[in-house]
């Protein structure tokens, strides 16, 4: 029989119900031929979608390989052995057979498949809910998570297969195995998110439900989708930017604070405040001290001889930070000292990430940290509002939002910045791109920021990298960057299913 892509594997969805959607039961406890018979079944299936995004091959806390290491923020100092295939991302030498590439594709489509399972069956009127409003809430959550997965897919691969129902037969699988033009994928994402707003989800989830979708997150993602559409699609740019502004403003209006400076930067990443910090909109939840659901981002980033992140002793240099991003912090920017530190050890003289810390007694010597992985926070929304207003020509509004981030960072307002700053960032667009880098470093935003900035100019993406100092990029060879690198290659196992309909991206 012809090999079937992971894209359409009928994923089993059984997981237990709990407020933070962490605990997993036997993955075969709900089968595709059983469907839903109760609200508990629906709840378990939705939990299965949330569980899928936790995978580090998907968008969990160590998925930075597919984002930070593909940007100018991070890299590698080892291109051999186990580091050989991951090195292809930062060295811009990706090949379609790369196993991490295939794993990322598969993990994202697992989210899609599980969400489709929920959406195909949740409207069955035979299912009785304790409150009928819950049906719409579960549906909204599945729509949001499917949109999130497709948003990663379309930005990283361009045209991708798009399936919006749970497939149950071999013929359906074959009929769905083809790439869909990216504009149509973006529109489906926007439609999913618009429909996801039609429920009684809270604007912001209470502490007990952190990790679940909320209306601020849906509006924020919808705003980012339209901002991206305006940046990378040739048609309807003004209309897309206008819609981006509309939804980003809706998300911004749902905040429970005034100015960003009311929330100390360090508090955003404080594990004792992760459920109550008003800046955090949507996060992947981890449990401090729990051997099954702990976070290892603090330990993983720590360099040998250091103790700032974790009590677990490190034997390596941690996640490699390109000096290029360190050099971009302005003098006096409080985000630099909080986010990175120089390790001056005989075995590791390099910068490492300190943004994620948990050296608590509960995390202990095992490094079982409690950091949640933040996927959306208000600084991101605020700086996207600066970006979209700049695109629309609303200069004063754009600067006002930009200055919110600068004020909290201890920096002068954009209008009164010094000559060196203005020479380095001669346009408001470049100043906003710089601010996003300093604010959101190591949070998996930088690649997408660059793709938006050069969305209609792939050569500009190439020039951006080739203008850098090679010494600030570890052992990555920036001469490898070309216009092909605005997208990943289609995984070989997917393309060979139908070389015509699953055509390869140019340059691979």
Residues 171 and 154 in one domain: yes
Question: Considering the domain boundaries, does residue 339 fall inside one?
Answer: yes
Quick one: pLDDT at residue 343?
94
| pLDDT in the model for residue 12 | 37
**Are residues 126 and 20 located together in one domain of the fold?**
yes
321 and 409 part of one domain: no
Are residues 78 and 116 located together in one domain of the fold? yes
Considering the domain architecture, whether residues 346 and 447 belong to the same structural domain is answered as no
Among 371, 387, 422, identify where a domain stops: 371
Q: What is the pTM of this model?
A: 0.94
90 with 166, same domain: the answer is yes
pLDDT, position 9 = 45
Residues of 253-276 as b/e, b for ≥16 C-beta within 10 angstroms? ebbeeeebbebebeebbebebbbe
Q: What is the CATH number of the domain that holds 137?
A: 1.25.40.390
State which residues form the domain around 81: 9-201
In this structure, is residue 313 part of a structural domain? yes
| Structural domains of the chain, count | 3
Residue 13: the pLDDT is 39
Please indicate, yes or no, if residue 185 is contained in any of the structural domains. Answer: yes
Residues 179 and 133 in one domain: yes
Q: What is residue 140's predicted lDDT score, i.e. its pLDDT?
A: 98
420 and 331 in a common domain:
no
Task: Give the pLDDT of residue 24.
Answer: 43
Distances (CA, A) of 209 to 22, 183, 369: 11, 34, 20
- Final residue of a structural domain among 179, 201, 223: 201
Instruction: Express each pLDDT in 185-227 by its tens digit.
Output: 999 999 999 999 999 999 999 999 999 999 999 999 999 999 9
C-beta separation of 44 from 17 below 8 A: yes
Q: Are strands 348-353 and 340-345 parallel, antiparallel or unpaired?
A: antiparallel
* Cα dihedral value 448, 46, 100, 173, nearest 10: -100
**Residue 393 sits in the same domain as residue 337:** no
In tens digits, what is the pLDDT along the chain, a chain of 508 residues? 344 454 444 433 333 333 445 554 433 344 444 578 899 999 999 999 999 999 999 999 999 999 999 999 998 876 654 568 999 999 999 999 999 999 999 999 999 999 999 999 999 999 999 999 999 999 999 999 999 999 999 999 999 999 999 988 888 888 888 999 999 999 999 999 999 999 999 999 999 999 999 999 999 999 999 999 999 999 999 999 999 999 999 999 999 999 999 999 999 999 999 999 999 999 999 999 999 999 999 999 999 999 999 999 998 877 899 999 999 999 999 999 999 999 999 888 999 999 999 999 999 999 999 999 999 999 999 999 999 999 999 999 999 999 999 999 999 999 999 999 999 999 999 999 999 999 999 999 999 999 999 988 999 999 999 999 999 988 899 999 999 999 999 999 999 989 999 999 999 9
SS3 helix, strand, coil % of the chain, rounded to 5?
50, 5, 45
Q: How many CB atoms lie within 10 A of CB 142?
A: 27
pLDDT in tens, 10-51: 433 333 333 445 554 433 344 444 578 899 999 999 999 999
User: Which of 201, 216, 241 lies at the terminal end of a domain, its last residue?
Assistant: 201
The verdict on residue 227 lying in a domain is: no
Same domain, residue pair 17 and 129: yes
324 shares a domain with 412: no
- Is 502 within 8 Å of 479 (Cβ atoms)? no
**CA 95/CA 322 separation, integer angstroms:** 23
* pLDDT score for 316: 82
Both 302 and 444 in a single domain? no
Is 500 part of a structural domain of the chain? Answer: no
Residue 294 forms part of a structural domain: yes
Cite the DSSP H helix spans in 254-394: 265-268, 297-301, 323-328, 334-339, 378-392
Q: Residue 405 has what pLDDT?
A: 98
């Amino acid at each position: 029989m012809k090999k079937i892509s992971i894209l359409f594997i009928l994923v089993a969805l059984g997981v237990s119900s709990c407020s933070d959607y962490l605990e997993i039961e036997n993955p075969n406890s709900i089968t595709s031929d059983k469907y839903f018979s109760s609200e508990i079944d629906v709840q378990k299936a939705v939990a299965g979608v949330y569980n899928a995004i936790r995978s580090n091959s998907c968008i969990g806390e160590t998925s930075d390989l597919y984002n930070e290491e593909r940007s100018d923020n991070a890299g590698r100092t080892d291109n051999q052995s186990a580091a050989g295939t991951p090195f292809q991302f930062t060295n811009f030498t990706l090949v379609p057979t790369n196993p991490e590439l295939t794993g990322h594709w598969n993990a994202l489509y697992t989210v899609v498949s599980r969400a489709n399972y929920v959406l195909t069956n949740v409207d069955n009127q035979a299912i009785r809910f304790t409150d009928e409003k819950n049906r719409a809430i579960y549906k909204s959550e599945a729509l949001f998570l499917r949109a999130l997965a497709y948003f990663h897919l379309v930005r990283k691969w361009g045209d991708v297969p798009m399936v919006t129902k749970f497939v149950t037969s071999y013929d359906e699988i074959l009929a769905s195995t083809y790439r869909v033009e990216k504009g149509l994928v973006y529109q489906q994402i926007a439609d999913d998110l618009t429909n996801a707003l039609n429920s009684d989800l809270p604007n912001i989830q209470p502490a007990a439900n952190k990790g679940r979708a909320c209306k601020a997150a849906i509006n924020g993602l919808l705003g980012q989708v339209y901002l991206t559409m305006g940046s990378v699609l040739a048609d309807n740019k003004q209309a897309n930017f206008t819609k981006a502004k509309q939804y980003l403003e809706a998300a911004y209006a749902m905040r429970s604070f005034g100015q960003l400076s009311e929330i100390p930067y360090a508090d955003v990443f404080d594990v004792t405040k992760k459920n109550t910090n008003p800046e955090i909109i949507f996060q992947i939840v981890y449990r401090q001290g729990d051997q099954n659901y702990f976070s290892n981002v603090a330990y993983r980033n720590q360099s040998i001889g250091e103790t700032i992140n974790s009590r677990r002793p490190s034997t390596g240099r941690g996640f490699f930070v390109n000096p290029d991003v360190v050099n971009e912090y302005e003098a006096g920017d409080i985000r630099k000292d909080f986010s990175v530190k120089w390790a001056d050890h005989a075995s590791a003289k390099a910068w490492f990430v300190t943004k994620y810390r948990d050296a608590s007694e509960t995390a202990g010597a095992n490094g079982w940290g409690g950091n949640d992985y933040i996927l959306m926070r208000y600084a991101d929304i605020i700086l996207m509002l600066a970006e979209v207003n700049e695109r629309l020509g609303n200069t004063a509004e754009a600067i006002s939002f930009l200055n919110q981030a600068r004020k909290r960072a201890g920096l002068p307002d954009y209008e009164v910045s010094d000559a060196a700053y203005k020479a380095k960032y001669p346009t408001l667009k470049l100043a906003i791109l710089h601010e996003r880098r300093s604010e959101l470093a190591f949070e998996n935003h930088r690649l997408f920021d660059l793709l938006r900035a050069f969305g209609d100019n792939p050569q500009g993406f190439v020039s951006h990298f080739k203008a850098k100092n090679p010494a600030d990029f570890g052992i990555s060879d920036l001469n490898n960057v070309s216009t092909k690198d605005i997208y990943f290659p289609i995984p070989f196992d997917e393309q060979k299913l139908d070389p015509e309909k699953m055509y390869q991206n140019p340059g691979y």
